[in-house]
Structure 1
Amino acid sequence: MTAGGSAVPAGAEGADGSGDEGGKGGLRAALSGLTTRGRSFLAAGVAASVCAYLLGQADLLRVGLLLAVLPLVCVAVLYRTRYRVAGSRRLTPSRAATGAEARVHLRLDNVSRLPTGLLMLQDRVPYVLGPRPRFVLDRVEAGGRREVSYRVRSDLRGRYPLGPLQLRLTDPFGMCELTRSFSAYDILTVIPRVEALPAVRLTGEAPGYGDGRSRSLALAGEDDVIPRGYRHGDDLRRVHWRSTARYGELMVRREEQPQRAGCTVLLDTRRAAYQGGGPDSAFEWAVSGAASALVHMLERGYSVRLLTDTGNSVPGEGAGGFAGATQETADSAGLMMDTLAVVGHSDGTGLSASYDALRGGNEGLLVAFFGDLDEDQAAVAARMRPRNGAAVAFVLDSETWARGKAPGQGRAADPAGLMARVPAAAEERVRPLREAGWTVLTVPPGTRLAGLWRMAERQRTGTGASPVDGAAGTSGGWS
């Protein structure tokens, strides 16, 4: 359970409810909480008292004083009430995919010795998540608690604050209402939608450890014949006595373990590479595709890093910025998802920064999601292909996405969008990638990544459809 607030005294004025400011400022704030009914009673009482004084009517004066004093007494009683309440909030789940619902659980505890009066509970929620939830609590006994919940949903990625929680206190006559706020709030992270991908071989290796059984030095695994110096914490059973006698110091057998294959997911975020916006835009498809790819590769045992066109890698921990080998898979995926939840367009115009980031460790599998590529950027992207690995590119023609329908595409006849014709200009732009050995798939609107993922395997194994001849206007599969 995440804390959504602390104990709040009903009469305190502080935002966090930790104390009573008192004085004229607090009393003035309490008077400002008079409701329309309370102000009407006060005005009527003052008017009646003045008229009674001028006319010499004692009975009318008593009525006027009663009308004027009643709302003031309610203000004083409500202001000086000393019961305390504590609030908390719990999100289920704390990360929700776009379009999916999350439930927010609110808990209110009365930690004072007095029962509360009528309370109205309200949580501050950004408008993109829905209307502000309000709950009326009739009475909370001393030491009692109340739990309520509401649902939120967003079609837009992002990090949205929930809270602070607000309490509105009122007297039994409805003369005065005071609002008290907790100080704490929680963050709901709306992550891109993740699509389940089929288990295919894009590198010729099924598991993340690879069929080549390559090895790297570590702390567990099979023995290596080359010993090393003893380190604090080494198992004495691994002492290599022959080398110890030779070198005159403790030597232990070196160990090794299978080297985990690496995968880099490259996301092109250049503003100039995409047109349009909204949940169904080309950029949102690319972000969702990158999220699906990195989660899929992590689940298959790969060490994965997320790289953008700016050259920044996420999470940036471990060798070469890869995560998964030394970190828990769930933590690695969560960190990358948090980044993708708030990723936006970059102001860069080229892919040189990402090329420089890949040049240092150009091995393993590279999965890239590109927007529009001109001749220069296609040449830069072509040089990104790993020396010892495979490269798969998903290229989105933003002009086609902005129109909302691929040329020649019939949604009813081909809901997967895998038989759409690729414009000749788009086909020509990606030709340098194919010539460099990339597996290139152009993405029309409405296409599911799972189908393209299978076609990437077919193209690599030579069983897929031949490249589309856009100039000739033929309709076929993906290249």
Structure 2
Amino acid sequence: MTGRGVSTLLAGILLAIAANVLAAPVLLYVAALLFGMLVLAALFVFAPRRRIRVDRTVAADLLTVGDDTTVRMRVEVRTVMRPPAGLWRDVLPPAVLGSATGSFPAADAEAVPGGTAMTMVYPISGVRRGLASLGPLQLTTSDPFGLFARTDELGDVTPITIVPAVLPLPRLADRTGRAGGTAQTSSHRLGQGTDNLSPRRYVPGDSMRRIHWRATAHRGDLMVRQEEQESSPDALVVLDRAGARWQNADGETDLNGFDRAVTACASIAVHLVDQGFAVDVVDATGVLIGRLRGAEDERDGLLVSLAGTSPRSGERDHGLPAAAEGHTVGPLVVITGTIDPADAGSLPHGGAGSPILLATSTTADALAAAGMQGWATAALGDDPADAWTDAGAAEPGSATVDAGAAPLARSSGSPRRTDAAGAETESAHVR
């Protein structure tokens, strides 16, 4: 019952009382008329049985924080009476922002066998990473007098994933090899290679195209080439999820700080793989969060994993040394929350090529203690590019590289590298 309906009911009761007190039957007739209106309005609103089907489609499979997309709803109404008139509203989670409301039925409503169909489109934008759901659709209808209102929740919810933004970073300063990660290779598989590789004896099943004719003529036996396997140096990104490191002064979880860390983790991981590194993203205990080797689906998988990650409650983890154990080739990036000087001063990097420590909330003493151990340190704010530059990881004078702008996936064939003129050329097998 709406406010108007409540007023009508109270007016009818007062008129009925006044009719008895004043001995005025006409007031009783008016009260009866008001009560009758209430009954008819209630029947008009609540008696009809409706069958409504809702199909909801989101334009983007993954919604990035700060990006916009559209939601399209197809609504089919089947009822013996005309379609109800009112307002529709799609329930939105706190992770997205949008205007999901309008008049019902929509202006483009069309007749279909057994009912009416219409399409509603509304925009949404991601405001916070996470796993959320759109819906259900709420339809509010009322009687012509506005005495009663009926709100139905229709259709199922549609899951949506809001992934962290991948922000651009300056090019990494300390790169392993002339072309970043792509210049480092190893040779430990057999196959087709170049003439200056050591040959081996022919075995049944080897391709005739692999025959090393010079070695065959020299030794008198059929010899074939060995093939070297191209590989990139590894980069390790550690996201510390220990709950004790993400508590503010009030003892509550610092979700904003953790979101900044997740954004930095995604941006740095994608940036490093674009620079030619093979990237593993783990937590402080060494549990794998994602792995990037250059494929687009690997990047999406990492972003989805980061969308659902959160600080773990319980005791503080002491697994940072374990996460970095054995990593000595490429960059090592550790992203944490509040770290004290004692923990920072005892944090080993295992001789990593570029050890970088980023903390969202820490003291100068803690950063100095980590610096004494060989870490490049910086406080992590809203823009990870600032921390990347403050830690000395950015190449001097380099422009900000839009992480993820270049395609991560690459077709099979010879690897590519950049020559001195900056042009990308086909690379032969590099030793």
Amino acid at match of 2:350: M
Query: Please, which runs of 5 or more residues in structure 1 have no aligned partner?
Result: 1-33, 241-252, 316-321, 401-422, 460-479
Aligned counterparts of 1:226 and 1:375: Cα–Cα separation in 2: 59
* TM-score for the superposition, normalised by structure 1: 0.60
1:394 is aligned, of 337, 357, 369, to 357
Identify the structure with bigger relative contact order (alpha carbons < 8 Å, sequence gap 6+).
Answer: 2
Q: Secondary structure of 2:298's partner?
A: helix
Counterpart for residue 455 of structure 1: 392
Q: Secondary structure of 1:76's partner?
A: helix
1:107 is aligned, of 55, 73, 87, to 73
Counterpart for residue 3 of structure 1: none
**Is contact 2:53-2:155 (8 Å) kept?**
no
Aligned counterparts of 1:383 and 1:337: Cα–Cα separation in 2: 26
Aligned pair 1:369/2:335, yes or no? yes
Counterpart for residue 116 of structure 1: 83
What does 1:198-237 align with in structure 2 at a 5 Å threshold?
Answer: 198-200=170-172, 202-205=174-177, 210-215=182-187
Query: Please, which runs of 5 or more residues in structure 2 have no aligned partner?
Result: 212-224, 397-431
**Is contact 1:123-1:166 (8 Å) kept?**
yes
Counterpart for residue 178 of structure 1: 150
**Is contact 2:76-2:118 (8 Å) kept?**
yes
Aligned pair 1:286/2:252, yes or no? no
Amino acid at match of 1:213: T
What value does the CA root-mean-square deviation take over the aligned residues? 4.7
**Is contact 2:95-2:130 (8 Å) kept?**
no
Aligned counterparts of 1:45 and 1:274: Cα–Cα separation in 2: 60
Aligned counterparts of 1:446 and 1:179: Cα–Cα separation in 2: 41
Structure 1 residue 148: Cα displacement: 3.7
Amino acid at match of 1:145: M
Counterpart for residue 286 of structure 2: 311
Aligned counterparts of 2:390 and 2:19: Cα–Cα separation in 1: 88
Amino acid at match of 1:302: F
List per-residue Cα deviations over 1:152-189 (Å, max 9, x = no partner): 453x5434443222111222232322111135223444
279 and 356 in structure 1: CA distance in 2 versus 1, 3 angstrom threshold: closer
Aligned counterparts of 1:42 and 1:456: Cα–Cα separation in 2: 73
Counterpart for residue 382 of structure 1: 348
1:163 is aligned, of 135, 150, 153, to 135
Aligned pair 1:333/2:299, yes or no? yes
**Is contact 2:86-2:140 (8 Å) kept?**
yes
Larger strand proportion of the pair: 2
1:433 is aligned, of 362, 373, 396, to 373
217 and 314 in structure 1: CA distance in 2 versus 1, 3 angstrom threshold: farther
Aligned counterparts of 1:192 and 1:51: Cα–Cα separation in 2: 66
* TM-score for the superposition, normalised by structure 2: 0.65
Q: Secondary structure of 2:347's partner?
A: helix
Aligned counterparts of 2:316 and 2:227: Cα–Cα separation in 1: 47
Aligned counterparts of 2:340 and 2:382: Cα–Cα separation in 1: 23
Structure 1 residue 314: Cα displacement: 0.9
What does 1:16-55 align with in structure 2 at a 5 Å threshold?
Answer: 34-41=1-8
Structure 1 residue 209: Cα displacement: 6.0
Aligned counterparts of 1:55 and 1:275: Cα–Cα separation in 2: 70
Amino acid at match of 1:163: G
Counterpart for residue 293 of structure 2: 324
